[in-house]
């Protein structure tokens, strides 16, 4: 019985660790984004993408936290849901580098939520 309780506690702790907020300054290229909160500063015009993995609208955007600025890729309905000034939470996404700048996205399996306007 004692071992089961210890194992259950460890699972809870590891779950909490993955939901801890990341900061832009801590992002690494080609690493996952677990939970990133940013203020949306700008949304660029949307464009259509036609690739073997995705066909639909995409828009570039940028956001900031207290440690820096990051590019954001918005997909499909995300473009309509957000507006400049929103506090966004990106979860289970990815971080890449484009033209020397960091860019984050939810990708196919991540989530984008609005914390506040």
CATH of residue 37: 2.40.50.140
Residue 100 lies in a domain: yes
pTM of the model: 0.81
Specify the number of domains making up the chain.
1
Residue 44: inside a domain: yes
User: Is 13 inside a domain boundary?
Assistant: no
Taking CA atoms, 83 is separated from 50, 76, 95, 111, in Å, by 25, 14, 22, 16
What is the structure's pLDDT at 117? 84
Q: Is residue 4 part of a domain?
A: no
| 58-93 confidence digits (pLDDT tens) | 999 999 999 999 999 999 999 999 999 999 999 999
Q: Is pLDDT above 60 for 4?
A: no
The per-residue pLDDT for 19 is 65
27 in a structural domain: yes
Which pLDDT belongs to residue 5? 44
* In-domain check, residue 57: yes
Range of the domain at 53: 21-116
Assess if residue 54 is contained within a domain.
yes
Predicted pLDDT at 90: 97
Quick: pLDDT tens for 9-67.
444 444 444 468 999 999 999 999 999 999 999 999 999 999 998 999 999 999 999 99
**Cα–Cα distance list, 112 to 33, 36, 38, 52, 60 (Å):** 12, 10, 11, 23, 14
Report if residue 52 sits inside a domain: yes
Identify the H or E element spanning 58.
strand 55-65
- pLDDT at residue number 7: 42
């Amino acid at each position: 019985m004692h071992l089961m309780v210890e194992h259950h506690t460890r699972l809870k702790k590891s779950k909490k660790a993955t939901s801890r907020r990341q900061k832009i300054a801590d992002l690494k290229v080609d690493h996952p984004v677990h939970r990133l909160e940013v203020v949306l500063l700008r949304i660029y015009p949307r464009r259509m993408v036609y690739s073997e993995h995705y066909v639909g609208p995409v828009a570039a955007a940028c956001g900031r936290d207290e440690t820096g600025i990051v590019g954001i890729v918005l997909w499909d309905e995300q473009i309509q849901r957000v507006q400049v000034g929103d506090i966004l939470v990106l979860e289970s996404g990815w971080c890449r580098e484009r033209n020397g700048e960091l860019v984050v996205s939810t990708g196919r399996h991540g989530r984008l939520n609005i914390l506040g306007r």
